[in-house]
Homo-oligomer: A and B are copies of this chain.
Amino acid sequence: MQTSKIHRRSSTMPQTTIEQTSAAQLEQILDNAQKASAQWAQTPAAERARIIEHAAAALEAAGDALVALAMEETNLPEARLRGELKRTAFQLGLFGETIRDCACFDARIDHADAQWPMGAARPDLRRILIPVGPVLVFAASNFPFAFSVAGGDTASALAAGNSVVLKAHSGHPKLSQATASIFAAALEEAGAPEGLFSIIFGTASGSAAIEDPRIKAAGFTGSIPGGRALFDKANARPEPIPFFGELGSNNPVFVTGSAAAANAEGIVDQFIGSFTMGAGQFCTKPGTLVVPEDSNFTQILASRQLPAVHKLLNERIEAGYLQILAQLKAHAGVEVLAQHPEAENGQIQPTLLVATGEQLLADPQALQEECFGPAALVVTYKDEAQLLQIAGSFSGQLTATICGEESDNVAQLLFTLQNKAGRVLWNQWPTGVSVTYAQQHGGPYPASTVANSTSVGTAAITRFLRPVAYQGFPQSLLPAALRDDAEGTALLNGQRR
């Protein structure tokens, strides 16, 4: 691993400071990453899986120290951080298991066919996904483990067979350095090539790295302006590269008339639980609850005592939250519906706002802006036509939720929402994103910069692969998964055996 040096700086309290990565350090890191990527790409998938699993175990073993550092830097509670570390290790293991299985490399074998009805004989063609090369990952602020150093983007890029250069998030530098040291050492200890995983610090080094021709793809989780700026850089390169950014989402929830009549109290409880969970610092926090005007939702919500939440991740996040919340409160169409009583004491506390459907539709951009933190907007709709109009007014989303009864006719609402979002939910809540095979975390812009990709779940691995077809090759020169004796696992003539 290449890292910036840690040194101590005198201060009232002794403090560890992480140096920004210099241009010379970055040059060495990228050079090593390129060499390591070529070696790693030629390492059998089962061997890669073993090495990744070893590194996952090393992180879990260092849990006490890492969680303590994370608590110090992020204000997140211990139980949440321990759960997140477990999720991170689980994710590394699941991705290892996935590449062992080989199915994720989409092997296809078409034997030569002189009678192929296209009008010309078909040659022997065999296609498989191969690693793209060194991947640059930008860590997130809100998941110091699961979307940071050894998180989802890193796990999927490594599983795919690429080296990783990780740009640490400025919100938790000491944790990043410590995690990276343990992770990189464990990878190398298990047999990974030197420089397979490196960490860099500082905006300048991230910016330089994304423009470097040795970097072949990038992953990112963060804000819309930050992500868009990097996306633009990735596309402006002489050789553009794919930039998988997960940028922002409002995650609206739509309540049908019959669900409101049947279960308003239950929906209110769950909604409050979901938008205040983790102090509202999830990209899948439900930011808007759309309810029938002729229901008693607003009365119920106004009567509830909103729960206290822990401090936000850092001062920058808190300042951003307060700014957007102030904008929303100042909007002519918006009123405060409920607020935690201690909100005026200076500490951040949950806030619920309310607007009518007309008001939302009059200024969707302002009223649908993501407010990262424990705030949400309740919107009342007057009839089904307006409900559909509101659904249609949203931009691309990570999630969209329907609270309904099975007898409701929601076909049109569901069709509208699936065209807006990567994940649609029925009577469940979008926070808590399961890491599994069928997960989809990513949707039309600005939810993602590449809507047909996911950053959670095993399909995330595919982002960092690309197909190559081998025409007319002898068995001995083919990748193992494309040889005749692997036909049991490949797609033969487009079909499974």
State the A residues within 8 Å of B (CB).
38, 42, 83, 86-87, 90-91, 98, 101, 103, 108-110, 116-120, 122-123, 125-127, 129-130, 132-133, 231-232, 235, 239-240, 242, 395-396, 406, 410-411, 414-415, 418-419, 421-428, 432, 434-440, 442-446, 449-452, 454, 458-459, 462, 465-474, 476-477, 491, 493-496
Per a CB cutoff under 8 Å, which of B122, B410, B452, B465 touches A242?
A: B452
A98 touches B494 (CB 8 A): yes
Closest to A436 in B: B110
Q: Report the Cα distance A440→B473, complex, angstroms.
A: 15
Q: Report the Cα distance A432→B428, complex, angstroms.
A: 52
Closest to A417 in B: B468
B468 touches A83 (CB 8 A): no
Q: Which residues of B contact A418 (CB under 8 A)?
A: 130, 468
Q: Report the Cα distance A477→B442, complex, angstroms.
A: 22
Q: Report the Cα distance A123→B457, complex, angstroms.
A: 13
Q: Supply 14 further A-B pairs (C-beta < 8 A) apart from A110-B439, A239-B446, A422-B469.
A: A90-B117, A90-B118, A123-B434, A125-B434, A239-B395, A242-B452, A406-B476, A406-B477, A422-B467, A424-B468, A428-B472, A439-B469, A451-B466, A452-B465
Known: A428-B472, A458-B494. A125 touches B239 (CB 8 A): no
Known: A117-B90, A469-B438, A477-B410. A444 touches B239 (CB 8 A): yes
B108 touches A437 (CB 8 A): yes
Question: Nearest-CB distance from A453 to chain B (Å)?
Answer: 8
Question: Nearest-CB distance from A220 to chain B (Å)?
Answer: 14
Per a CB cutoff under 8 Å, which of B118, B125, B426, B437 touches A493?
A: B437
Stoichiometry (number of copies): 2
A101 touches B494 (CB 8 A): yes
Per a CB cutoff under 8 Å, which of B116, B426, B437, B470 touches A434?
A: B116
B108 touches A426 (CB 8 A): no
Per a CB cutoff under 8 Å, which of B119, B396, B406, B438 touches A125?
A: B438
Name, among A439, A446, A458, A476, the residue most crowded by chain B CB atoms within 10 Å (CB to CB): A439
The 10 A-B pairs with the shortest beta carbon distances in the complex, nearest first, are A440-B469, A437-B494, A108-B438, A452-B466, A127-B438, A110-B438, A428-B472, A125-B438, A425-B471, A423-B469
Q: Which residues of B contact A133 (CB under 8 A)?
A: 419
Question: Nearest-CB distance from A133 to chain B (Å)?
Answer: 7
Q: Which residues of B contact A130 (CB under 8 A)?
A: 418-419
Q: Report the Cα distance A461→B175, complex, angstroms.
A: 43
A452 touches B471 (CB 8 A): no
Q: Which residues of B contact A110 (CB under 8 A)?
A: 434, 436-439
Question: Nearest-CB distance from A120 to chain B (Å)?
Answer: 6
Q: Which residues of B contact A91 (CB under 8 A)?
A: 118
Per a CB cutoff under 8 Å, which of B426, B459, B470, B496 touches A424?
A: B470
Question: Nearest-CB distance from A20 to chain B (Å)?
Answer: 29
Q: Report the Cα distance A459→B494, complex, angstroms.
A: 10
B235 touches A423 (CB 8 A): no
Known: A428-B472, A496-B103. A452 touches B440 (CB 8 A): no
Q: Which residues of B contact A439 (CB under 8 A)?
A: 110, 125, 127, 469
Closest to A228 in B: B240
Q: Report the Cα distance A439→B491, complex, angstroms.
A: 12
Closest to A237 in B: B445
Known: A445-B239, A471-B426. A477 touches B438 (CB 8 A): no
Q: Report the Cα distance A83→B452, complex, angstroms.
A: 35
30 A-B pairs whose Cβ atoms sit less than 8 Å apart in the complex = A83-B119, A87-B120, A90-B118, A91-B118, A103-B491, A108-B437, A108-B459, A110-B439, A118-B436, A120-B432, A127-B437, A127-B438, A127-B459, A231-B240, A239-B396, A239-B446, A240-B449, A242-B452, A406-B477, A410-B477, A414-B477, A424-B471, A426-B470, A426-B474, A428-B471, A436-B494, A437-B493, A438-B491, A452-B465, A459-B467
